[in-house]
A = this chain, B = another copy of it.
């Protein structure tokens, strides 16, 4: 991967994404003691950065592949992103979702034109259902985070952030499946000036933190976190990038996540997901280290269930 790959990725997906706004807040700067720039991917199409990687992965397919559609398993933002990106590009998207997924998520996928295939809520059933579609339809499987084209796509949010703020010293992102932080780390390496990338991860699902310690991809035992987008684990495509380019991962408690989410809602006046508040929570939990630094924070998404808020 080099700088040219990222530049080409950005050019390729530009017609399908928003260059999202960057917000600042004097009050949050006072709280943290740092100088913060929030890249608001909650304002991205379908409400999350996932649109970037999904668009890139589909565009990179051959015409033959595109004609047969794409398939993924996700009940989260990647399901919606793949559906919308596929629709924009005239491609069919098959989405494997567990039968117990919330109705609101199924409706969102259908709203973007995705074709839902329900399966039992087990790993085995999910993978069988995906294989089924690959065989039956000839559709191409696209992984939500462990795919180099997805990773490059997610990195474009960081390119835009650094175009606007070239002197950032740190960029914080949440860590879930690893696609966002790996893409961000590549972009910060090639476009930043000594810009270090730091991940935020809940203590409850600290697989990435443990993976960096052990040198192997670790799994989560519990999944007891409000940050429901971060329960997934790293993969063999993004883990080496994270090992090479990410400075460290800071773990945070559930209360720290909720407190950071409240600061974003009350001070920035924007709606963000609990998962995305983890990045700010990580910064706040070690704020003494980052005093007076110029820091970017990726606000990863804004798809929340207003009937189920932690305040």
Contacts and interface: CB of A to CB of B under 8 A. Distances in A.
B269 A42 contact: yes
Interface string A34-57: 000000001100010000000000
A311 B302 contact: no
A280 to B, nearest CB: 16
Given A43-B269, A270-B270, A306-B309, 14 more contacts: A23-B43, A42-B269, A47-B269, A262-B306, A265-B271, A265-B306, A266-B271, A269-B270, A269-B271, A269-B272, A271-B271, A306-B311, A307-B311, A309-B311
A235 interface: no
A21 interface: yes
A112 to B, nearest CB: 11
A306 B269 contact: no
B262 A302 contact: no
B269 A302 contact: yes
A122 to B, nearest CB: 31
B266 A306 contact: yes
Which bracket fits the contact residues of A? 10 to 19
Closest 3 CB pairs of A and B: A269-B302, A306-B311, A269-B271
Nearest to A311: B306
Contact of A270 (B266, B271, B307, B309): B271
Contacts of A266: 271, 306
15 contacts: A23-B43, A42-B269, A43-B269, A262-B306, A265-B306, A266-B271, A266-B306, A269-B270, A269-B272, A270-B270, A306-B309, A306-B311, A307-B311, A309-B309, A309-B311
A261 to B, nearest CB: 9
Nearest to A23: B43
A281 to B, nearest CB: 16
Contacts of A272: 269
Nearest to A308: B311
Interface in A260-292: 262, 265-266, 269-272
A246 to B, nearest CB: 27
A296 B271 CA distance: 22
A14 to B, nearest CB: 17
A71 B311 CA distance: 34
A119 to B, nearest CB: 28
Contacts of A42: 269
Nearest to A46: B27
A3 to B, nearest CB: 31
A215 B217 CA distance: 74
A254 to B, nearest CB: 17
A299 to B, nearest CB: 9
A304 to B, nearest CB: 8
Contacts of A302: 269
